[in-house]
């Protein structure tokens, strides 16, 4: 459930903790008995966590009590065992005064029965899941993970490990996108490489649209003669074909595919591996998150960073998205440098990056200057 967004308020049905209990191993006492120390108190018994025996601590008495055990009647504070002597002949010496309430965890001081513990729209994390367990909320309503179908196109792509013939390359986007899609908390079906065959692609897309909540395609959305994704989707879906003023990841397609009242979003990513990764990050991931109930933080955070080395580029009217590695230095700022060759096919340098520097049109950013970085880490 971690990573899901709640679709409904969660009202606590129980107090947490469900009873007043001790925060330490020690002795439950009357605080007034230990106002002047050292003082000897009579030890009337021992109470472990999980032991429901009801004890009553009278004046001049102490109950040996373990962290999490219920507070006995009468006692109003707990003295840590470290502040007491070794019990001897039914007596313990208390060496430190405590006030009423010391080391006592009151009933409901974490979660109060009847309160809205999480409101609709809350992103559940690990601690949130723990809180739901603590209040015995065994079922809550959350936005489901989007079921995403993923496919790649390109007759040049080899996936089966066979020897490359001239003109062939190894497919490298599917595993990468599968990881990015599941990292966005979606369930992903990897349909593999679909040959550049319009009829096959059409059948595959229509089936994916009837069985999934979204479709991500890689390749075939630009201006080439064999851009079959473009040919097929133009015919069967309501698409927008975009040329974005960014580099890499200029071509991008978005549209709706379906019919009979249900249509699913299609994200047409370019095939160049770096472009594929960047357009997923910038355009598909925020939309998928929105589908799953996220309202904030749709995009990765943008952090103003310092470049430790120049980020050079040529003016071309586009925003360049450079792969950088950054770390927070002792000055409290994020310092970045590029991770190597920045071509849209050069995925190796992207593998070393934990950020995307947004370098505006111009000649680049000098060492020591500021640049905004989309933080992927």
| Distance of closest approach, residue 232 Cβ to ligand AMP, in angstroms | 13
| Distance of closest approach, residue 282 Cβ to ligand AMP, in angstroms | 16
Q: Which residue number, 228 or 288, has a Cβ lying nearer to Mg ion?
A: 228
Q: Which residue number, 201 or 376, has a Cβ lying nearer to Mg ion?
A: 201
| Distance of closest approach, residue 225 Cβ to ligand AMP, in angstroms | 10
Q: Choosing among ligand AMP, Mg ion, none, which partner's interface includes residue 21 (Cβ < 5 to 8 Å by kind)?
A: none
φ and ψ of 127, to 5 deg = -65, -35
* 268 is an interface residue for Mg ion by CB under 5 A: no
Dist CA 230 CA 198 (whole Å): 10
Q: Which residues contact ligand AMP (rule: CB under 6 A)?
A: 152, 154, 156-157, 169, 171-173, 218-220, 222, 224, 270-273
| Distance of closest approach, residue 14 Cβ to ligand AMP, in angstroms | 51
Q: Which residue number, 157 or 292, has a Cβ lying nearer to ligand AMP?
A: 157
Dist CA 290 CA 292 (whole Å): 5
φ and ψ of 12, to 5 deg = -70, 130
Query: Exposed/middle/buried for 276, CB within 10 Å: 0-12, 13-18, 19+?
Result: buried
Q: Which residue number, 224 or 301, has a Cβ lying nearer to Mg ion?
A: 224
| Distance of closest approach, residue 179 Cβ to ligand AMP, in angstroms | 14
Q: Choosing among Mg ion, ligand AMP, none, which partner's interface includes residue 270 (Cβ < 5 to 8 Å by kind)?
A: ligand AMP
3-state secondary structure of 10: strand
- Contact residue for Mg ion among 72, 108, 220, 326 (CB under 5 A): 220
Q: Which residue number, 122 or 222, has a Cβ lying nearer to ligand AMP?
A: 222
* 255 is an interface residue for Mg ion by CB under 5 A: no
3-state secondary structure of 223: coil
Q: Which residue number, 333 or 345, has a Cβ lying nearer to ligand AMP?
A: 345
Answer whether 124's CB lies under 8 Å from 7's CB: no
132-138 — which CB contacts under 8 Å span 24+ positions?
Answer: 132/1, 132/10, 134/16, 134/110, 135/10, 135/12, 135/13, 135/14, 135/16, 135/111, 136/13, 136/14, 137/10, 137/12, 137/13
Q: Choosing among ligand AMP, Mg ion, none, which partner's interface includes residue 171 (Cβ < 5 to 8 Å by kind)?
A: ligand AMP
Interactions with Mg ion, residue window 137-156 (CB under 5 A): 154
| Distance of closest approach, residue 250 Cβ to Mg ion, in angstroms | 15
* 17 is an interface residue for Mg ion by CB under 5 A: no
* 219 is an interface residue for Mg ion by CB under 5 A: yes
Instruction: Give the residue at shortest CB distance from ligand AMP.
Output: 271
The residues with which 78 forms a beta bridge, in sequence order, are 28
Q: Which residues contact 29 (CB under 8 A, 6 or more apart)?
A: 41, 57, 61, 62, 75, 76, 77, 78, 79, 94, 98
Bond from prior residue into 17 cis (ω within 30 degrees of 0): yes
* 270 is an interface residue for Mg ion by CB under 5 A: no
Distance of CA 70 to the CA centre of its chain: 36
Residues near Mg ion (CB under 5 A) are 154, 219-220, 271
């Amino acid at each position: 459930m971690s990573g899901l967004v709640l679709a409904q308020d969660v009202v606590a049905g129980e107090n947490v903790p469900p009873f007043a209990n001790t925060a330490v191993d020690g002795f439950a006492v009357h605080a007034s008995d230990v106002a002047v120390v050292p003082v000897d108190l009579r030890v009337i018994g021992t109470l472990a966590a999980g032991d429901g025996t009801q004890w009553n601590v009278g004046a001049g008495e102490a109950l040996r009590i373990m962290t999490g055990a219920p507070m006995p009647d009468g006692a109003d504070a707990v003295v840590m065992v470290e502040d007491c002597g070794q019990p001897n002949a039914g007596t313990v010496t208390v060496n430190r005064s405590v006030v009423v309430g010391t080391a006592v965890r009151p009933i409901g001081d974490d979660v109060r029965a009847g309160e809205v513990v999480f409101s609709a729209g809350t992103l559940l994390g690990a601690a949130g899941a723990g809180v739901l367990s603590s209040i015995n909320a065994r079922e809550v309503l959350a936005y489901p993970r989007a079921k995403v179908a993923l496919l790649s196109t390109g007759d040049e792509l080899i996936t089966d490990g066979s020897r490359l013939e001239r003109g062939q390359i190894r497919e490298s986007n599917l595993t990468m996108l599968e990881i990015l899609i599941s990292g966005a908390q979606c369930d992903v079906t990897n349909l593999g490489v679909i040959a550049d065959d319009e009829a096959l692609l059409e059948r595959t897309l229509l089936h994916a649209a009837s069985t999934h909540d979204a479709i991500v395609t890689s390749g075939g959305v630009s201006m080439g003669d064999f851009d079959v994704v473009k040919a097929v989707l133009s015919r069967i879906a309501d698409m927008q074909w975009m040329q974005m003023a960014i580099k890499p990841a200029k071509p991008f397609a978005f549209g709706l595919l379906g019919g009979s009242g249900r249509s699913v979003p299609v994200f047409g990513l370019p095939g160049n591996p770096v472009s594929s990764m960047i357009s997923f990050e910038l355009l598909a991931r925020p939309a998928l998150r929105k589908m799953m109930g996220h309202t904030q933080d749709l995009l990765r955070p943008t952090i103003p960073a310092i470049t430790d080395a120049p980020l050079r580029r040529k003016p071309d009217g586009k925003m360049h998205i450079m792969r950088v590695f950054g770390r927070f230095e002792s000055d409290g700022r994020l310092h970045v440098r590029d991770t190597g060759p920045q071509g849209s096919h050069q995925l190796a340098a992207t593998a070393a990056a934990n950020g995307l520097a947004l370098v505006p049109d111009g000649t680049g950013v000098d060492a020591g200057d500021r640049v905004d970085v989309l933080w992927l880490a």
